[in-house]
């Protein structure tokens, strides 16, 4: 994240917080703490792939174990994708996009 790279001290955090809140047009109470945690390397980054994996699983209405079985991948791999440790390969991303748009496809995978 580029914003984090320019934050060097608490004063910079305050300036960045003020700028973001100004752009947002509202107070963001947890923003300062989030920026400090990000600068310290704490917390998790949410990536598009991570969001997509979770959306597809939730749209299918399945648990992690059931969804992993449905897409024929180890549950540990699915967890790694959902937690952002790894990004799913391109073919899986394509399948996940289809499941998000057409959740009934998940059921068809079970019948195949």
> How far, in Å, CA of 19 to CA of 32, rounded?
11
- Spatial contact of 48 and 54, defined as CB atoms under 8 Å apart: no
For residue 20, give both structure tokens: 């973001």
Single pTM value for the model: 0.62
> How far, in Å, CA of 2 to CA of 40, rounded?
14
pLDDT in tens, the chain (112 residues): 444 444 556 678 788 888 888 988 888 888 888 888 777 777 666 788 889 999 999 999 999 999 999 999 999 999 999 988 899 999 999 999 999 999 998 888 888 6
* pLDDT tens digit sequence for 78-93: 999 998 889 999 999 9
Choose among 55, 76, 71: nearest CA to 107: 71
Domains of the chain: 2-39 (no CATH), 48-111 (1.10.260.40)
> How far, in Å, CA of 97 to CA of 103, rounded?
10
């Amino acid at each position: 994240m580029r914003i984090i790279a320019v934050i060097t001290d608490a004063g910079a955090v305050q300036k960045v917080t003020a700028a973001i809140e100004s752009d947002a047009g509202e107070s963001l109470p947890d923003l300062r703490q989030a920026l400090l945690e990000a600068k310290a390397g704490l917390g998790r980054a949410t990536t598009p792939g991570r969001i997509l994996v979770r959306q597809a699983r939730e749209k299918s209405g399945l648990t992690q174990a059931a969804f992993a079985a449905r897409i024929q991948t180890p549950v540990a791999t699915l967890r790694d994708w959902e937690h952002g440790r790894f990004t799913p390969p391109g073919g899986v991303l394509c399948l996940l996009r289809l499941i998000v748009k057409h959740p009934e496809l998940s059921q068809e995978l079970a019948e195949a």
